[in-house]
Amino acid sequence: MGESVIEAVVLNWCVQEGETIAEGDTLLEVATDKVDAEVPATCSGTIRSILVQKGEVVSIGAPIAVLEAKNGTIQLTSIQASSMAAHGSTFAAIPAQDLAATTPLPSCSKPRILLSPLVKGIIRKHRIQPSELEHLVGNAKNNRIKKEVLLDYLKQKSKTSNTSELHLFQEPITPLEGDEVLQMDRVRKLIANRMVQSKKIAPHVTSFIRADLTEVVEWREKHKAAFGEKYGIKLTYNPLFMVAIARALQAFPLLNAVVFNDQIIKRKQINIGFAVALPDGNLLVPVVKNVAELNFVTLAKQIDVLISKARSGTITPDELTGASYTISNIGCFGNQMGTPIIVQPQVAILALGTIEKRPAVIDVGGEDVIAIRNEMFLSHTYDHRIIDGAIGGGFLKHLTTELKFLPKNVDMSCI
């Protein structure tokens, strides 16, 4: 469900152990901080066992069920980050006779890791990932991980986890008379966890700049009626901002990137996510793919469709996946500036403030003149691990120039 999704909640199993299923049948329903989705089976067979229960939080890639396929092989299915939108799950085949002695680990470089039934039970209980087992098997004889080694690893892992997860307030807080106690819902808890993790991972730096949008505002006012009549949608500022941002990202490609461990992956396509507020107070971030290659009308239509789907609850996982850069329009709430939190594993996010008329000094025929201009503050937050001020601030300065001359770069033939 996208590179930023790290776990899902099992909402409901649609099959039972021993049940025969066909390819495409829904196995289970899951939920993340982005969207709820069904996980379909990618082959036919019989459900041998279900490894996780309703309500459990499962890491992406962790085993969730064992399927005995029609060809006599055993399939271990898991929720995958990149394939949920199209397939929902992936399978790794193992000969049926090897199931009792081995655990299939598709991501491991080792062909097979030998585990006793007791050790496999510990692995399932503590949700130990294949990458962790691969690390442990490096020093194991004959690729066999013993119970003692595994328990020692879990003990050390627990100490590290307890140290890193200390809360600021350790003592219990007692509500006072008249206080209202609200329990976070599932989506809010997931969003909260993601925001905390982002602040832990990336050192955030935010730069601010004031952009002159007078020409953009005048251009939109001039063409919005004709545009709406011709295409049946409103001419909003969203596609105009995305055109300018895509141009600026082409000039500063390091900002169109993601970070994985010590690797910087510069994305070829410019996929822009944009935050959409929902009626329940939560938000979704739909993604417009390959923005730099879209004409203006197509871009405007895609944005309009994605907003409608997000607010109606019909948006798909694929439409929330793959962003290389994100924007947040805080101006729709009347806010001027903000310090947005980066969506991991991206390296930057831009907040768009409200457009207001302000007095400004402009050059008219070589003379300074005070005039009323339509202006907006841009707040650019970037990951200081790889983005320095020269790039983070330079991008922002370049973007103001793109916005100033944007009306001249929009294809007028579409109006």
Residue 345 preceded by cis peptide, ω within 30: yes
Length of the chain equals: 415
Distance (Å, whole) CA 1 – CA 146: 34
Measured at the CA of 85, the angle between CA 72 and CA 346, to 5 degrees, comes to 125
Distance between CA atoms of 112 and 144, rounded to whole angstroms?
9
> Helix, strand, or coil here: 102?
strand
Q: Strands, E, within 157-307: which ranges?
A: 204-212, 257-260, 263-266, 272-274, 276-277, 283-284, 287-288
Tokens found for residue 6: 């790290």
Residues carrying an active site annotation = 384
Partners of residue 263 on adjacent β-strands = 260
- Amino acid in the structure at residue 386: I
| Type of residue numbered 248 | A
Q: What is the DSSP letter of 18?
A: T
Find, among 361, 362, 360, 357, the residue nearest to 374 by Cα. Answer: 357
Specify whether the CB–CB gap between 381 and 343 falls below 8 A.
no
Which own/partner pairs from 160-165 qualify as long-range (CB within 8 Å, at least 24 positions apart)? none
Contact 133, 119 (CB under 8 A): no
Show the tokens assigned to 78: 């898991």
3-state secondary structure of 307: helix
**Closest to 329 in 3D by CA, of 379, 282, 267:** 379
Give residue 188's identity as a one-letter amino acid code. Answer: R
**Which residue is associated with the tokens 């992406």?**
60
Helix (H) or strand (E) holding 40, with range, is strand 36-40
324 with 258: CB under 8 angstroms? yes
What's the rounded Cα separation, in Å, for the pair 403 and 215?
Answer: 9
